[in-house]
Structure 1
Amino acid sequence: MDEIDLRILKALRDDARQTHQDLSEAVGLSPTPCARRVRNLEAAGVITGYAARIDEAQIGFGFSVFVSVRLDRQVDDRLQEFEDRIRKFPEVVDCWLMTGSFDYLLRVTVRDLNEFENFLTGRLTRLSGVASLESSIPIRRVKNEATRLE
């Protein structure tokens, strides 16, 4: 990966909908070599896809909660079972296996506190293997970068 590839990635991170012509001008290449580099980055798995960044509040899911989860046992089958179940919950938009005192960190998006309570008490706490939970409500997002490139 060279400096031109990084410029391509930065430009696509900022606006993945731009034309190959605009992208090539932004990074200082002609369109054909620029398009070839993009295809190579896709084939190498550096670019894994393209997506719209959506304001969750604008579509009714403006309430986020971070939930730390501790399991009763940290064995492979218990971890796998938890991960399989959590993937099925549309409220959970991010899930990370963690080090430290908790096993997982979830970001849950819901309409309001009542919906979060229903999710927490009606679904999350009922998963087998969940030993404890700790919820934190964010006040405001300070930084929102899609990817680190430098």
Structure 2
Amino acid sequence: MQLDRRDIEILRVLSREGRITKTALAEKVGLSPTPCWERLKKLESAGIIVGYHAEIALKRIGPHVTVFMAAELADHTAARFRIFEDEVRRRDEITACWALGGGYDYLLQVIARDIDAYQRLVDDLLEAHIGLARYFTYIVTKPVKGAGVPPLALIAGLGAAEDSSA
């Protein structure tokens, strides 16, 4: 699907305000409700919009620690990567995982109640015989910037005009 600036603006607004009404979305992107709704449905049908999520204030729920773990596998076969990735998907504490090139094999984001809970997770992963050879732990001391809105216009090759607007 070829995106234009209106599509990008719809995506940008939804990235910031997922619960916005269709009428308010249309108003913000400068369309009438019906054409805006049609564009939104096309974006969903094309698999560009894959879901709507809430940003949760974890501090208000309870104490927790966010940890990034760089992981190296013992061997680099497709089967071993699959085994590791399947185990990662099963673990709720592992909230994100990226396969990397050029150094470590994976970067995992872990949210645990405390450091002891994180270490129990690591011990479980080591005992699961999933090929984890080495790991490196990086504890988040404070969030500086979250995932935010990606530079949609740049990715779509349309320039940065909409992405720099607040």
The partner residue of 1:147 within 133, 150, 154 is 150
Kindly indicate whether the alpha-carbon contact (under 8 Å) linking 1:61 and 1:109 is maintained by their aligned counterparts in 2: no
Quote how far apart the aligned CAs of 1:139 are.
Answer: 1.8
- 77-86 vs 56-65, which moves further: 56-65
Name the structure 1 match of 2:75.
73
Say if 2:15 is the partner of 1:13: yes
Aligned mates of 1:54, 1:149 — CA distance in 2: 23
Kindly indicate whether the alpha-carbon contact (under 8 Å) linking 1:62 and 1:109 is maintained by their aligned counterparts in 2: yes
Kindly indicate whether the alpha-carbon contact (under 8 Å) linking 1:98 and 1:104 is maintained by their aligned counterparts in 2: yes
- 139-148 vs 3-12, which moves further: 139-148
Normalized against structure 2, the TM-score is what? 0.84
- SS where residue 102 of structure 1 aligns? coil
Say if 2:126 is the partner of 1:125: yes
Letter in 2 for 1:57: K
- SS where residue 51 of structure 2 aligns? coil
Residues 16-74 of structure 1 show CA distances to partners (whole Å, capped at 9, x for unaligned) of: 11111101110110000000000011111111111111123332363011111111101
- SS where residue 46 of structure 1 aligns? coil
Normalized against structure 1, the TM-score is what? 0.93
Residues 56-99 of structure 1 show CA distances to partners (whole Å, capped at 9, x for unaligned) of: 33323630111111111010000000111111111100011111
Quote how far apart the aligned CAs of 1:146 are.
Answer: 4.4
1:1-150 equivalences in 2 (<5 Å) = 1-60=3-62, 62-121=64-123, 123-128=124-129, 129-144=131-146, 145-150=148-153
Aligned mates of 1:146, 1:84 — CA distance in 2: 28
Q: Percent identity, please.
A: 37
- SS where residue 87 of structure 1 aligns? helix
Query: How many aligned residue pairs are there?
Result: 149
Aligned mates of 2:97, 2:117 — CA distance in 1: 19
Quote how far apart the aligned CAs of 1:131 are.
Answer: 0.8
Aligned mates of 1:60, 1:83 — CA distance in 2: 28
Q: CA RMSD in A?
A: 1.3
